[in-house]
């Protein structure tokens, strides 16, 4: 494994909190990655933003673990020296142009050539909003990913996460619920609080984030409209403690852990009828529910056998079945987008690591070598898992490629990052 480290400095809008930008650290694996070249984009027009699209696309593709993308000094003008790329064992070369059509619209032209046959593999022209070049680069990354692999990419997406400052204010740390692009850029603070924030979860339409806050000196679940300047809404006061929100894919229901009379069970809250439906009734701890992508099941954590294990409830039949059988501690399940796997936290000896469970075969694969992983979550294309872990006694986020285990780390210079969640595709 080759260790490439680069700190990314970027200007974000002045209104955003600028005290803790994410840094990126890639533990690169070239194993089984697609060697390609992304040439610098030709920019035609008068652009306000200084954005290197080809660079963003290269970084995206490299971080997915699927590609080994390099730059070139070759431009679209002039003939393509295919022999040169063949000699350097490149399989494909990508060219692009951004042409400003009006004050509102840019056209992006994209050309992908197969180096061996010297034929175009993919040519397309797409329209994008002017003034959003970074977003354009992410969308084009998805286009290239699909053209070359036949699979959707996860680049035009967002993360949510929680940062915690080391500095104390009146003896309290500052917690921030933030969102960013999938590459950690474009960071924006959604909630700032002197009380812990936990478990942010994007709604399927990406307009809302549900999260747990201790601002009332107890855990409560709040829903914040991410892109509106409205106050977070607290879910109605339930008896006992509310936590662990998970959206139903329909966006109208949310699963919660409620502690009524001290018994922690999973309930379904309907935003329209404002009614609760109890999903588990066991006297043990039932928590950390996660909806399957079709909304027909929930996976959850329970200590009903005396051990902490993951269970799945079929919401139609009502049947609950145990999902994990390996080890004495399996928790915090998250469904893969195809619904076939669960990412979860598995204890190995004294260490807590991210593992992948094939639900049907019960095969469990441990993915990391860390000591204290938490909160795994799939990228919307299922190709990567983001989770939080500790590096040198500091909380960081880590994204692992399921293709070749390549890892991308996101960290703050000062303070901790934790509780990641990945949005669905951007609209």
Report 299-338 residues binding other proteins (CB under 8 A).
301, 303, 308, 329, 331-332
Letters for 225-244 (x = contact with other proteins by CB under 8 A, - = none) are: ----------------x-xx
User: What is d(CA 275, CA 231) in angstroms, rounded to the nearest whole number?
Assistant: 22
User: In 3-state terms, what secondary structure has residue 209?
Assistant: strand
What's the token pair of residue 236? 């109605």
DSSP code for 143: H
User: In 3-state terms, what secondary structure has residue 243?
Assistant: strand
| Sole window of 48-56, 61-69, 130-138, 283-291 interacting with other proteins (rule: CB under 8 A) | 283-291
- Evaluate whether 340 touches 357 at the Cβ level (below 8 Å): no
Letters for 115-154 (x = contact with other proteins by CB under 8 A, - = none) are: ----------------------------------------
Q: Which residue in 115, 211, 419, 422 binds other proteins (CB under 8 A)? A: 419
Q: Is 375 in the site for other proteins (CB under 8 A)?
A: yes
**Least distance in Å: CB of 350 to other proteins?**
8
**Residue whose C-alpha is closest to residue 419's, from 196, 232, 154:** 196
Q: Which residue in 58, 158, 264, 313 binds other proteins (CB under 8 A)? A: 264
Q: Which is nearer to other proteins, 143 or 212 (CB)?
A: 212
User: What is d(CA 248, CA 258) in angstroms, rounded to the nearest whole number?
Assistant: 17
User: What is d(CA 145, CA 157) in angstroms, rounded to the nearest whole number?
Assistant: 14
Q: Is 216 in the site for other proteins (CB under 8 A)?
A: yes
329: enclosing H helix or E strand: none
- Evaluate whether 364 touches 408 at the Cβ level (below 8 Å): no
Q: Is 352 in the site for other proteins (CB under 8 A)?
A: yes
Q: Which is nearer to other proteins, 44 or 276 (CB)?
A: 276
Report 381-410 residues binding other proteins (CB under 8 A).
390, 393
- Evaluate whether 86 touches 65 at the Cβ level (below 8 Å): no
Determine how many CB atoms are found less than 10 A away from the CB of residue 143: 21
Q: Is 369 in the site for other proteins (CB under 8 A)?
A: no
Report 75-114 residues binding other proteins (CB under 8 A).
none
Determine how many CB atoms are found less than 10 A away from the CB of residue 306: 8
**Residue whose C-alpha is closest to residue 379's, from 178, 157, 135:** 157
Q: Which residues bind other proteins (CB under 8 A)?
A: 196, 198-199, 212, 214-219, 241, 243-244, 257, 259, 262, 264, 285, 287-288, 301, 303, 308, 329, 331-332, 345, 347, 352, 371-372, 374-375, 390, 393, 419
């Amino acid at each position: 494994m080759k260790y490439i480290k680069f700190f990314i400095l970027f200007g974000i809008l002045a209104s955003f909190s600028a005290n803790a930008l994410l840094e990126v650290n890639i533990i690169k694996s070239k194993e089984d990655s697609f060697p390609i070249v992304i040439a610098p984009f030709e920019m035609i027009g008068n652009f306000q933003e200084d954005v290197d699209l080809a660079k963003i696309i290269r970084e995206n593709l490299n971080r997915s673990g699927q590609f080994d993308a390099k730059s070139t000094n070759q431009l679209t003008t002039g003939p393509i020296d295919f022999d040169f790329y063949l000699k350097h064992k490149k399989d494909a070369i990508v060219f692009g142009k951004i042409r400003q059509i009006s004050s509102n619209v840019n056209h992006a032209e994209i050309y992908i050539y197969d180096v061996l046959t010297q034929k175009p593999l993919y040519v397309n022209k797409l329209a994008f909003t002017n003034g959003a070049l970074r977003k354009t680069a992410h969308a084009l990354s998805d286009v290239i990913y699909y053209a070359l692999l036949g699979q959707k990419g996860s680049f035009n997406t967002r993360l949510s996460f929680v940062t915690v400052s080391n500095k104390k204010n009146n003896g309290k740390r500052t917690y921030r619920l933030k969102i960013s692009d999938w590459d950690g850029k474009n960071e924006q603070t959604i909630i700032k609080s002197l009380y812990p924030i936990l478990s942010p979860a994007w709604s399927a339409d990406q307009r809302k984030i549900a999260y747990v806050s201790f601002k009332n000196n107890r855990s409560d679940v709040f829903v914040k409209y991410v892109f509106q300047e409205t106050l977070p809404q607290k879910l109605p006061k339930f008896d006992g403690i509310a936590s662990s929100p998970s959206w139903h894919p329909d966006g109208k229901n949310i699963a919660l852990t409620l502690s009524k009379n001290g018994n922690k069970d999973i309930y379904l809250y309907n935003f329209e009828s404002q009614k609760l439906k109890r999903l588990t009734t066991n006297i043990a701890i039932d928590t950390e529910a996660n909806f399957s992508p079709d909304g027909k099941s929930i996976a959850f954590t329970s200590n009903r056998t005396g051990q902490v294990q993951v269970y799945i409830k079929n919401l139609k039949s009502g049947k609950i079945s145990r999902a994990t059988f390996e080890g004495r501690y399996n928790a915090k399940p998250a469904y893969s987008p195809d619904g076939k796997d669960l990412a979860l936290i598995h204890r190995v000896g004294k260490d807590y690591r991210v593992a992948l469970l094939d639900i049907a075969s019960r095969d469990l694969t441990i993915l990391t070598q860390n000591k204290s992983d938490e909160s795994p979550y799939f990228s919307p294309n299922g190709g990567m898992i983001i989770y939080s872990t500790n590096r040198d006694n500091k909380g960081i986020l880590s994204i692992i490629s399921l293709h070749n285990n390549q890892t991308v780390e996101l960290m703050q210079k000062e303070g901790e990052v934790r509780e990641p969640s990945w949005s669905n595709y951007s609209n």
